[in-house]
Amino acid sequence: MKKRIFSIFMIMVFAFAMISCGNKDDGNNNQEQTPSAGIYTPGTYEGKATGYGGDIIAKVELSANRIESITCIGENETNGIGSVAIEKLPTAMVEQQTVYVDAIAGATYSSKGVVDAVTAALTAAGVDVQSLQPTGTVPTAEPIPTEETMSADIVVIGAGGAGMTAALEATNAGRNVLIIEKQAMVGGNTIKATGGMNAAGTQLQKDEGVDDSVEVFIDDTMSGGNYVNNEELVRTLAERSADGVAWLESIGAPLKSLTFSGGASFKRMHAPEGGAAVGPYIVQALSQQLADKNVNILYNTAATEIVTTNGEVTGVIATGNNIKYTINCEAVILATGGFGANEEMVTKYNPDLAGFKTTNSPGIVGDGIRMAEAVGANVIDMEQIQVHPTVEQETSTLITESVRGQGAILVNKNGERFFNEMSTRDLVSKAIMQQEGGSAYLIFDQQVRDNLSAIETYVSADLVEEEDNLADLAEDIGVDPETLIKTVADWNDTVTNKSKDVFERTTGMDRAITVAPYYAIKVAPAIHHTMGGVQIDTQAQVLSKTGTAIPGLFAAGEVTGGVHGANRIGGNAVAEVVVFGRIAGQSASAYVQNH
407: left (phi over 0), alpha (psi -120 to 50) or beta: left
Q: Is there binding between residue 542 and ligand ADP (CB under 6 A)?
A: no
Strand partners, 259: 269
User: Which residues contact residue 134 at a Cβ distance below 8 angstroms, ignoring those fewer than 6 apart?
Assistant: 96, 98, 100
Report long-range pairs for 540-548 (Cβ below 8 Å, ≥24 apart). 540/333, 540/580, 540/583, 540/584, 540/587, 540/588, 541/587, 542/334, 542/372, 542/377, 543/377, 543/378, 544/376, 544/377, 544/378, 545/376, 545/377, 545/378, 547/378
Among 182, 268, 522, 528, binds ligand ADP (CB under 6 A): 182
CB of 342 to ligand ADP, least distance (A): 10
- What are the backbone angles phi and psi of residue 579, rounded to the nearest 5°? -65, -55
Report d(CA 160, CA 279) in Å as an integer: 10
Q: Is there binding between residue 337 and ligand ADP (CB under 6 A)?
A: yes
Q: Is there binding between residue 558 and ligand ADP (CB under 6 A)?
A: yes
Segment contacting ligand ADP by CB under 6 A, of 7-15, 332-340, 509-517, 534-542:
332-340
Segment contacting ligand ADP by CB under 6 A, of 32-40, 359-367, 475-483, 519-527:
359-367
Q: Cβ closer to ligand ADP: 132 or 369?
A: 369
CB of 371 to ligand ADP, least distance (A): 7
Q: Cβ closer to ligand ADP: 181 or 445?
A: 181
Q: Is there binding between residue 248 and ligand ADP (CB under 6 A)?
A: no
The reply to whether omega before 272 is within 30° of 0 (cis) is no
Report d(CA 223, CA 229) in Å as an integer: 9
Report d(CA 553, CA 559) in Å as an integer: 13
Q: Is there binding between residue 336 and ligand ADP (CB under 6 A)?
A: yes
Q: Cβ closer to ligand ADP: 278 or 335?
A: 335
Residue 149 exposed, middle or buried by CB count within 10 Å (0-12, 13-18, 19+): exposed
Q: Is there binding between residue 461 and ligand ADP (CB under 6 A)?
A: no
Q: Is there binding between residue 367 and ligand ADP (CB under 6 A)?
A: yes
Q: Cβ closer to ligand ADP: 401 or 558?
A: 558
Which H helix or E strand runs over 523? strand 518-530
Radius of gyration of the chain from Cα atoms? 25
Helices (H), 127-240: 161-172, 203-207, 214-224, 231-239
Q: Is there binding between residue 159 and ligand ADP (CB under 6 A)?
A: yes
Among 79, 119, 183, 359, binds ligand ADP (CB under 6 A): 183
Q: Cβ closer to ligand ADP: 4 or 595?
A: 4
CB of 216 to ligand ADP, least distance (A): 25
CB of 41 to ligand ADP, least distance (A): 41
Q: Is there binding between residue 335 and ligand ADP (CB under 6 A)?
A: yes
Q: Is there binding between residue 303 and ligand ADP (CB under 6 A)?
A: yes
Specify whether the CB–CB gap between 566 and 225 falls below 8 A.
yes
Among 74, 163, 552, 570, binds ligand ADP (CB under 6 A): 163
Segment contacting ligand ADP by CB under 6 A, of 137-145, 151-159, 431-439, 543-551:
151-159
Report d(CA 420, CA 403) in Å as an integer: 14
Residue list 565-584, contact with ligand ADP (CB under 6 A): 577
Residue 425 bears catalytic tag: yes
Q: Is there binding between residue 180 and ligand ADP (CB under 6 A)?
A: yes
Which H helix or E strand runs over 87? helix 82-96
Q: Cβ closer to ligand ADP: 89 or 157?
A: 157
Among the options 175, 404, 417, 425, which is catalytic?
A: 425
Segment contacting ligand ADP by CB under 6 A, of 83-91, 247-255, 333-341, 384-392:
333-341
CB of 564 to ligand ADP, least distance (A): 12
Report d(CA 6, CA 105) in Å as an integer: 11
Q: Is there binding between residue 78 and ligand ADP (CB under 6 A)?
A: no
CB of 364 to ligand ADP, least distance (A): 5
Count of helices and strands (H, E) across the chain: 18, 25
CB of 279 to ligand ADP, least distance (A): 8
Report d(CA 429, CA 304) in Å as an integer: 35
Q: Cβ closer to ligand ADP: 263 or 363?
A: 363
Q: Is there binding between residue 315 and ligand ADP (CB under 6 A)?
A: no
Nearest to ligand ADP by Cβ — which residue?
A: 160
Specify whether the CB–CB gap between 178 and 592 falls below 8 A.
no
Segment contacting ligand ADP by CB under 6 A, of 59-67, 93-101, 380-388, 555-563:
555-563
- 184: which DSSP letter? S
Q: Cβ closer to ligand ADP: 184 or 524?
A: 184
Nearest 5 degrees, angle CA 227-CA 230-CA 235? 100
Report d(CA 431, CA 262) in Å as an integer: 15
Q: Is there binding between residue 340 and ligand ADP (CB under 6 A)?
A: no
CB of 335 to ligand ADP, least distance (A): 5
Among 157, 295, 473, 527, binds ligand ADP (CB under 6 A): 157
**What is the four-CA torsion angle of 519, 192, 363, 560, rounded to 10 degrees?**
-120
User: Which residues contact residue 98 at a Cβ distance below 8 angstroms, ignoring those fewer than 6 apart?
Assistant: 132, 133, 134, 138
The amino acid occupying position 435 is Q
Residues noted as catalytic:
425
What is the contact surface with ligand ADP in residues (CB under 6 A)?
157-163, 180-183, 188-190, 302-303, 335-337, 361, 363-364, 367, 557-559, 577
